[in-house]
Amino acid sequence: MTVAAATVLDCDQRSVREINVELRNLEPGSVVRIVNPKGRHNLAVGLMKHLDITFAGSVGHYIGGLCDGVQIQIDGFCGWGVGENLMNGLIRVTGNASERAGATAHGGTLVVEGDAATRTGISLKGGAIAVGGDVGDFSMFMAQAGTLLIGGDAGEALGDSLYEAVIYVAGSVKSLGSDARHEELSDDDVTTVTQLCAIACFDHIEPQNVKRIASAKQLYHFDALKAQKY
């Protein structure tokens, strides 16, 4: 079987705009290696086709945002908002991720092999996020759907104002946010965690021993007059 040669794009020789234009012009299924990213922002955004992209080094903010069908690997760390509004595909970060990883994603899978900072999965609307290490405060704030798997510990106010999203934590939880609660782990939950661990290539998590956190559903219906006197 013939393996297609990778297209190499060098950030030292092209601007962010030039690289993004080249990515849009590639045929679906193309393999791309982006070298010398050196913390550049806004690379590989808005791609509506399958491309297999590898960043050879750490990147800046908003990598892989607004994409549908991409497969991206970042060999290093990344800045804010990696995979923001991801629709479908897989993004893998081999290092740590900064704030708002996977924010507002509707689908696909984001894997962070290291730690993720504050507000991981904020306003998540679908898909899955798997973090091998710890997550920061206010992760999954107002998450509406989807799944977050945390292989380490979680910071303060985890799952504040959750809706239908579910969080699984292998480590400790510093505190839960408003309307989040611990629930009993079911066989379906164990299956979900097992499958997500397989996708993420995590072997340090015991699916049957994670904590399930979901919404208590007390904030579904806002009552402006509740407990008020005139």
**Cβ proximity of 137 and 159 under 8 Å:** no
Could you give the angle at the alpha carbon of 190 between the alpha carbons of 93 and 96, nearest 5°?
15
Place of tokens 């992760």: 139
134-143 long-range Cβ contacts below 8 angstroms, 24+ apart: 134/171, 136/99, 137/174, 138/177, 139/167, 140/165, 140/167, 141/177
What's the sign of the alpha-carbon dihedral 43, 92, 112, 89? positive
What's the sign of the alpha-carbon dihedral 73, 78, 79, 80? positive
**Cβ proximity of 98 and 78 under 8 Å:** yes
**Which residues of the chain, if any, have pLDDT below 70?**
1-4, 222-230
The pLDDT assigned to 219 comes to 83
Q: Which residue intervals of the chain are DSSP H helices? A: 16-25, 187-200
> What is the residue type of 220?
Y
| Structure tokens belonging to residue 124 | 């998540």
Kindly state the DSSP code that residue 230 receives in the 8-state scheme.
Answer: -
φ, ψ of residue 131 in degrees (nearest 5) = -115, 125
Give the count of alpha carbons within 13 A of 91, CB side only.
38
Tens of pLDDT, residues 53-106: 999 999 999 999 999 999 999 999 999 999 999 999 999 999 999 999 999 999
Q: What is the DSSP string of 90-117?
A: EEEESS-B-TTTTTT--SSEEEESS-B-
* Whether CATH 3.40.50.2000 fits 96-217: no
pTM of the model: 0.94
- % residues pLDDT > 70 (the chain): 94
Nearest to 110 by CA among 119, 97, 35, 193: 97
The pLDDT assigned to 230 comes to 47
